[in-house]
């Protein structure tokens, strides 16, 4: 059994996704955390690779265990077949007892097209067609891996620093290997969170955006918090949401789920959803969990056109 070797990696993370979505940035962030990164790897050779002793400088920690391993691959790999990749990993996991996780990096089509236009690079799947056609073809090809992945990060609104911070929060090797709980906020007017396991729509609460004194503030500011707390629906709704989440988390963990993303949405993603996410994170900490909090649209510009759809 590979897992019995003292040089076996304690964790194996597969890093994949759409070209231009940030795989290189993610692997560099993992390397800074002490992972051993390998990029552009032919996945069909992964069994042979894992049986190879790590090279000099790849040890991590003082207990002679190999560094956790991050293997990057994408649609450019020769003979790439998502279904074959999944079958290979599942067979290897069962035969060798290795614990694999998969990180998929996604990104909106318009943002990917902008990135390609900025770098003036041709999309490998576009041929003599526009970049958008290559992106669409790749998205269709990669969709089985996206559905299969343990965690999906959309980098549409991320800077390089944002992605690096998220990788550090989720994949630090020194973190306890328990279920990772993420509580996030977002604005419906700017698109859903595609990776959320639980989504709570907080647009039934009175919108602070329409109070000129509160508009420039966020759900982290006390005047906004007080405004939302005064809404007659807040206390009971939050209590029910909190109790549901606390009921579900241990059951997710019992089923072996490694990552749970709980998302709160409002219209613009700056007031009600932010306060709700922060409130739930506090409640989860009180219950003994250690959630990561992400606010997707907290720094987005206010626009009445965005907020105007819902008061």
pLDDT 10s digit of each residue in the chain, 311 long? 333 343 445 578 999 999 999 999 999 999 988 889 999 888 777 877 776 655 555 544 444 466 788 999 998 877 788 998 899 888 888 777 777 889 999 999 889 988 888 776 778 777 778 888 889 999 999 999 999 998 899 998 888 888 888 888 887 755 445 688 999 999 998 888 777 899 999 999 999 999 999 999 999 999 999 999 999 999 999 999 999 999 999 998 877 677 899 999 999 999 999 999 999 999 999 999 989 898 988 876 655 444 544 44
Residue with token string 């003599």: 128
Own/partner long-range contacts of 109-114 (Cβ < 8 Å, ≥24 apart): 109/135, 109/136, 109/139, 111/155, 111/156, 111/157, 112/18, 112/19, 112/20, 112/21
CA 276-278-283 angle, 5° bins: 95
pLDDT value of residue 187: 93
pLDDT at 198: 95
Q: How much is the pLDDT for 253?
A: 83
Q: What is the CA radius of gyration of the chain?
A: 21
Token digits for 183? 């509580």
User: Does the model's pTM come out above 0.85?
Assistant: no
């Amino acid at each position: 059994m590979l897992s019995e070797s003292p040089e076996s990696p304690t964790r194996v993370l597969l890093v994949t996704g759409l070209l231009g979505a940030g795989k290189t940035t993610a692997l560099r962030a993992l390397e800074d955390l002490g992972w051993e990164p390998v990029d552009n790897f032919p996945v069909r050779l992964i069994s042979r690779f894992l049986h190879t002793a790590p090279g000099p400088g790849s040890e991590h920690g003082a207990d002679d265990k190999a560094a956790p391993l991050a293997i990057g691959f994408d649609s450019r790999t020769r003979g790439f077949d998502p279904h074959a990749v999944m079958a290979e990993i599942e067979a290897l996991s069962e035969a060798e007892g290795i614990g694999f996780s998969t990180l998929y990096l996604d990104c909106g089509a318009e943002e990917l097209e902008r990135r390609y236009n900025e770098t003036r690079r041709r999309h490998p799947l576009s041929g003599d067609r526009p970049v958008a056609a290559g992106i669409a073809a790749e998205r269709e090809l990669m969709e089985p891996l996206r559905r299969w992945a343990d965690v999906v990060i959309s980098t549409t609104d991320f800077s390089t620093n944002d992605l690096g911070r998220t990788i550090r929060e989720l994949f630090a090797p020194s973190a306890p290997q328990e279920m990772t709980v993420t509580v996030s906020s977002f604005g419906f007017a700017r698109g859903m969170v595609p990776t959320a396991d639980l989504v709570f729509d907080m647009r039934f609460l009175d919108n602070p955006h329409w109070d000129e004194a509160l508009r420039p503030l966020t759900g982290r500011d006390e005047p906004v918090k007080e405004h939302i707390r005064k809404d007659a629906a807040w206390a009971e709704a939050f209590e029910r949401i909190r109790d549901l989440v606390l009921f579900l988390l241990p059951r997710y963990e019992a089923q072996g789920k490694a990552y749970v993303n709980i998302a709160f949405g409002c219209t613009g993603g700056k007031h009600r959803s932010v306060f709700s996410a922060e409130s739930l994170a506090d409640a989860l900490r009180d219950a003994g969990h250690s959630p990561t909090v992400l606010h997707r649209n907290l720094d987005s510009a206010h626009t009445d056109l965005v907020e105007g759809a819902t008061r």
